[in-house]
Amino acid sequence: MAQLSDEKLSDSGVDPGAAELSPPAAYVPKDGGWRAWSTLIGGCATFAATMGYANAFGVYQDRYTRAGISASGASWIGSTQLFLLIAMGLPAGKLIDMGYFRITMLTGSVIYVCSLLALSFAKQDQYYQLFLAQGLGMGIGGGLLYVPAMGVQAYHWRKRRPMAVGVVLVGASIGGIIFPIVLNRMLATSSFPFAVRASMFIVIGLLGAANALMSSPNPTAVRKGDLPMKAIMRDISYWFLTLGTLAVLSGVFFPYFYLQLYSILQGVDSDTAFYCLAVMNAASIPGRIGPNLLVNKLGVFNILIPFCTLCGVLVFALFGVSNAGGMFAFAAVYGFVSGAFLSLISFAMASSARHESEIGVRLGVAYSIAALGALVGNPIDGVLLGQGFTWVRPIVFTSIMILGGTFFHWSRSSFDFAYERDCICMTVSSSLLVCICCGVKPLEEHSLGFEWIFHNCSRLA
């Protein structure tokens, strides 16, 4: 593992796995063995049941909106679930530090499954029932599972932590493939309650396996010492990174919430549009694994910033996507780059720590604040979309927020000289491509499509 400097963890030297939870100094991870591998599989299953299910909210967004709920109102349900899933990391992490790993996992599992059961009994014309069950209940239950599933990996892995983090994160992509297909198929052939219960039984299987497989080898360890809050409050670069992450999170989930609805309203057959979310989540698998393995070599910001920029640039491409081929192309490319961002951001946050003992606190504070972006971003998109489904406004808002957040990330980071030119060139060229396309073809004509971009790029070449 790369060593921490006396002042800060370098961008390329931070230990990625320690980003979630650093085990006490007395305990040395074994980097293998039955307990380590079983805990890794359990963590993957937990992410499939929690973040994977949240990634499938586009199915519910489409269902609720076409059933008469406003796009903004429907978004508040999914955004609240996503916000609590991330923001609960601070109390959940503290419970893990106090040695309550198994109790936290069991409690979260019960709350999560019971909330799904309550959702199956909720009436779709009773908004408060949907919000309480899916927004609050599943958000709180999932939040008690999300951080422990990742944090416990630090007790089992050291040299292989980048691999372990990537495998656990892949669980979110796997869940994001399974649940949209299951929900859409069940909703097409049966009732809403039956579809939700079918997904609930899958969740029960995943969480049951996770609770049986996962273990903490040092459950009574409690981290000692004062929290470094003064140092955190005075760290300007850390706050630039946190605010930038808040801005990006307010926009990066827009396609996960709205792509299925957008596809259907653009005339794509509903049976085909149903698979857009599955394709997006499948494409995020290599995005979550590949870039992680390059962090120690290239530096986290040299990888994060180009991917983050591409997220904002790609959203503009939705203006010209009006057929199934374009939808799937967008879903695949965006899934890859957004998966890379969501995987790399915790590595970037950990790089601001001055010592390993600060990593957990800095991550908890940053995620609790940045989660506000996930809370308000998609409802704002819904308001901008309106009853007339004017897509120009939410698409432009999303791109601006992502690119603005990227600028904050770039402002606080220190590029390695060897890679500075390449990263800046990629960022500028991507943005310039969009500016050229938008200048030639007005946004109102919705002519910024993949085919048009590739055609003009070939002409420029």
Which pLDDT value is given to residue 224?
47
Helix axes 359-385, 392-412, angle to 10 degrees: 160
Residue type, 240: F
Q: CA dihedral in degrees (455, 456, 460, 461; nearest 10)?
A: -20
Nearest by Cα to 380 from 369, 365, 395? 395
Residue 308: Cβ-neighbour burial (10 angstroms; 0-12, 13-18, 19+): buried
What is the residue whose two structure tokens read 């996503």?
82
| Cα Rg of the chain, angstroms | 21
- Angle made by CA atoms 171, 174, 177, in degrees to the nearest 5: 150
Q: How many CA atoms lie within 13 A of 55 on its CB side?
A: 33
pLDDT under 70: residue ranges of the chain:
1-31, 97, 217-228, 353, 355-360, 412-461
Is residue 142 within 8 Å of residue 84, measured between CB atoms?
yes
Quote the pLDDT of residue 418.
40
Question: How high is the pLDDT of residue 27?
Answer: 52
Region of 386 please: left (phi>0), alpha (psi -120 to 50) or beta: left
Domains of the chain: 16-460 (1.20.1250.20)
Contact 301, 413 (CB under 8 A): yes
Q: Provide DSSP, 377-431.
A: HHHHHHHHHTTTT-THHHHHHHHHHHHHHHHHHHHH----HHHHHHHHHHHHHHH
* Residue 308: closest CA among 411, 237, 163, 232: 411
